[in-house]
Amino acid sequence: MRPILLIDFGSTYTKVTAVDADAAELLGTASAFTTIHTDINDGLEHAVAQLEQKIGKLDYTARYACSSAAGGLRMVTSGLVPELTAEAARQASLGAGAKIAKVYSFELTEDDIEDIDAIKPDIFLLVGGTDGGNSECILHNAQMLAGCKSDFPVVIAGNRTAARQCARYLEGRETLICENVMPKFGVLNIEPAQKQIRQIFLRRIIQAKGLSKATALVSGILMPTPSAMMHAMQLLAEGCKDEKGIGDLVGVDVGGATTDIYSIADGMPHDTNTVYKGLPEPYVKRTVEGDIGMRYSIHGIVEAAGISRVAQLSGLSEARALELVNYLSEHTDVVPQDAEQEALDFALASLAIETAVIRHAGTMEEAYTMMGLAYVQTGKDLRDVRQIVVTGGSLIHTKRTGDIAAHALYNPARPVSLRPKEAKIWVDRSYILAAMGLLAEYEPQTALRIMKKELKEDGYSK
């Protein structure tokens, strides 16, 4: 046996997962409240103690960790045109595991600077202009950022001809220059910026969040938890050198504050009469719906779907549904205690997934040209994706997981939305995906084999 301990320092819970790397088997999982306001090690020790009650004491050969504690990695980005460089900055930030607090386009104003100071981001991603193109906007924004009172590092990933001047304007503040996120018009290059963002997380943010207290107990805190999740999804889809993956997939993680959606698929048009509009979508894509969550952002679900939909799916009256929604928004630690609350959570989780996947997926609209009828695609076409992987308490701790997950699928009532037409549902019952993303950094084949064993199939939805 070669036991490895995988740790996820979450904002609410610290979760631990033990695996036997030699046998590619899950040994056990446990969790305890995250104690970031006292000593982060206390929550970790409590979680490990619970794990030991299940599987006994083990001499771990390695301990790896990820973290989204204290709200995760908060980023603000700015670019030139909303549909181009600003969108490229957004994709780079999300792909690095960040939670985007604000995206600015065009030139920053004094009011914007006041807002940024109020947000107090962990990192600012400054982009704008293709290489050799517009430099006025990014230079103006660098000068404006120099006046910010709050302290945060700035990653400069815009027009390369202006990068050094931007750094000079920001002298006295930590700046890091990397390759342009959009070096040519319509061409994305987001990996260098993502790598830089993760390095800052490891070097600076961990200390700011108090996680450096735990470094004596772990082999290394590798990445933000969303990055670990994305890594797990990509490995599960693509496989590795000696192990096949399950193919293109959509991943759904419904939490109390946000709903994260992942897609591992090409998503580009395949028909000759379809024209693609906008920036090409990354093959590995993550979106975060910060207004959609089961407790902290419960009102966001109601605002997006309407209380009538909540009532319809739950079987409750609108008045009773709203009463329960208001109660849960104030009592965020409540889990369903009776049939009414279970019915409401079913409706909320279903609508959280429906709303978030609609926002994540692309759209298709008809257009009439001189050559006849054509189609205009914006974003990713996920209609041919046949695998949906779901996680999150509202999906794991219910017998209706398949019914909830089916709301990620194509619906004729929204014909323009390019969601999967039919898919097999895989459930992360043991809550191991983030842990497997961590393990994949060192032993991808082991991580993949454990996921294949532990993810439980929950039917085929049409």
Q: Are residues 148 and 189 in the same domain?
A: yes
Does residue 368 belong to any structural domain of this protein? yes
Q: In 3-state terms, what secondary structure has residue 279?
A: coil
CB 334 within 8 A of CB 328: yes
pLDDT of residue 122: 87
CATH of the domain at 59: 3.30.420.40
> DSSP 3-state assignment of 294?
coil
Residue type at 39 in one-letter notation: D
Q: Model pTM? A: 0.85
Q: Is residue 261 part of a domain?
A: yes
Q: Which domain holds residue 199?
A: 73-204
Q: Are 5 and 11 in contact (CB under 8 A)?
A: no
Match 């509202």 to its residue by tokens: 394
Residue 70 has pLDDT above 80, yes or no: no
Residue range 111-137: mean pLDDT, rounded: 93
- Pull the structure tokens for residue 366: 């008809």
- 77 in the same domain as 33: no
Q: Say if residue 263 is in the same domain as residue 338.
A: yes
pLDDT at 420 over 70: yes
Query: Has residue 162 been placed in a domain?
Result: yes
On whether residue 404 sits in a domain, the answer given is: yes
Q: Which stretch of 96-100, 205-209, 282-286, 415-419 has the lowest confidence by average pLDDT? A: 205-209
Look at residue 397 and tell me if it is in a domain. Answer: yes
Same domain, 166 and 268: no
pLDDT above 80: residue 248: yes
Higher pLDDT, 8 or 3: 3
Query: How sure is the predictor about 94, in pLDDT bands with cuts at 50, 70 and 90?
Result: confident
Q: How many domains would you assign to the chain?
A: 3
Both 104 and 192 in one domain: the answer is: yes
pLDDT at 278: 83
Say whether both 180 and 327 belong to one domain. Answer: no
245, 328: one domain? yes
pLDDT tens figures, 180-232: 999 998 788 888 998 888 888 777 666 655 666 666 566 666 678 888 999 99
| Distance (Å, whole) CA 349 – CA 401 | 10
Same structural domain for residues 77 and 199? yes
